Structure formats: structure tokens, C-alpha cells
Homo-oligomer: A and B are copies of this chain.
Amino acid sequence: MTTTDTTAAETNDPIRNGVDTAALFATLDAVRQAPAAAKFQFRAHNQWVSGTHNRTTIADYFGVGEERSHERTFVFDADHPPTEFVLHALASCLTAGLANIAAARRVTLTEVRSTVTGDIDLNGILGLSPDVRNGYQQITVRFTIKGDAPVETLRELMEQSRVRSAVYDVITNQVPVTLEVNVPDIPEGARS
């Protein structure tokens, strides 16, 4: 069996593996016609709750030339861009670190808010331009912090959180990734 053994009816089926291939190719064509439409900016809005507990909401983004909103706010196992999890992870890590460090230095925080934005050009992952990287080209984190300490002290806490952040390290430096693939060799006759 090869990948071309499927029938014409099957190959023309717009849905395969649950993927709307018609929409997929339509998107490819649309971006091929207007490359600027592929410039996206995903965002995660994070608010500290208490201790290392904080909450991120993913709702709005910029794409296809304008401000947009997801149809619903983020749910863990929902179908949405995985790259948004990286932004959530960064905000969560920096905020948790800030709370820990502030506590260790005897500073009481009253409010911590942050917005993380990641700029991405979908020409990369769509394979339409070899000059565009797949991932974010730039990530920006904007924090607002309030607490019972001078402005300079609060800034120092944030800086120390950055210096000690695991996710900040992962994103700004390189982590080696090993990919192992197991494909059970099913006899041809047993394949569906």
C-alpha cells in the first residue's frame, strides 16, 4: 500500500483525520496571495492571584490584518495555537518567581498583572517562505506591579525573577530536543 492507494472519492474528501483540508488549502492560497495577512500576534493576559498561583486568559489576538478574538477563551485541551502555551508559561513563570522572591525579601505585593505578546509570521510554518522562521520572532512581556516597597525595589524583584526564570531561559537560550518516533510495523493485510 502506498499513500496514493486511496480512492478518488477519498482523496477529494475535504475532511481527513478531522482536518478540513479544503480550508487548509484555501488558507494556503489566501496567504500566498497576501503574505502580510500571515503576520500574527498572539497574546496571553496574566494576573497574579496569590503565592505562585496566577491566572492567564487568552482571548484576543492580531491576525489577517486586524484585531481579533477567539470564539471562546482558552480551555486546556481545546483546539487552538500551541504557541500560546509558551506565552502563558512565560507569564506564569515570571509571576510565580516574583511572588517567591518578593516574599523572601519581605515585600508584600498587592497587584501583579502582565501581558505577553509574541510576534509570529505564519509564512514560516506554512512553508511559504524559507526566510521566515517557524517560531516567534519577538516576545514582549509587560508587567504592572504594586507593593509596599519603593519603585526601585519592586523593579529589582522583577529583574531577579527574570534572571532566575526557567521559562525565560528556555525561550531566550537553546534547549536540545530529541525526537523519537515509534511506528508499529503493521502487516499490510491488517491495515484498515
Residues of A that sit less than 8 Å from B by CB: 1-4, 6, 10-11, 16-21, 24-25, 49-56, 74-79, 82-86, 88-90, 92-94, 96-97, 99-100, 102-110, 118, 120, 124-125, 127, 133-146, 148-151, 153-155, 158, 162, 164-186, 191-192
Contact = CB atoms under 8 A, between A and B. Distances in A.
Contacts of A11: 106
A192 to B, nearest CB: 6
A135 B93 CA distance: 11
A39 to B, nearest CB: 14
Contact of A53 (B2, B79, B150): B79
Counting every copy of the chain, the complex holds 2
Contact of A85 (B79, B89, B181): B89
14 contacts: A2-B149, A18-B99, A53-B78, A83-B93, A86-B89, A94-B179, A124-B166, A127-B164, A134-B164, A135-B173, A136-B170, A141-B178, A154-B181, A174-B174
Contacts of A90: 82, 177
Nearest to A184: B146
A139 to B, nearest CB: 5
A75 B56 CA distance: 12
A84 B170 CA distance: 12
Contact of A135 (B82, B96, B153, B166): B166
